Amino acid sequence: MATRQKLILTGLYLSKYDQLGLRNLGFDNFVEAFNVIGYALGSRPASIKNYRDEFDPLFPNRRMGWHKRPTRDYCREVFEEVG
């Protein structure tokens, strides 16, 4: 699986499962998760945050994410594929 795909899936997971997802992964907060996962995947932590923000409008969480624009096509495809 390509790194970009892993980053997208991580952002999707963190958006969908929010605090429960953090706990399941053993993190105390999002900054820690972004840093650990981002560097582990060889990417910038901000990339994971950006993908989480991309999916936030699609889930009922307290974050609005990037609600003022449509979800990018390649992210929408991943969302529709794995939900």
| Rounded distance between C-alpha atoms, residue 83 and residue 75, angstroms | 11
Residue 70 has a CB neighbour count (10 Å cut-off) of: 9
Tokens of 52: 């989480």
Q: pTM score, two decimals?
A: 0.89
Domain enclosing residue 47, as ranges: 3-82
- Which residue reads 């929408």 in tokens? 76
Mean pLDDT across the stretch 66-73? 85
- Per the structure, the count of domains in the chain is 1
- Tell me which residue of 23, 30, 28, 74 sits closest to 49, measured CA to CA: 30
Q: Which long-range contacts (CB under 8 A, 24 or more apart) does 28-32 make?
A: none
pLDDT in tens, 2-56: 999 999 999 999 999 999 999 999 999 999 999 999 999 999 999 999 999 999 9
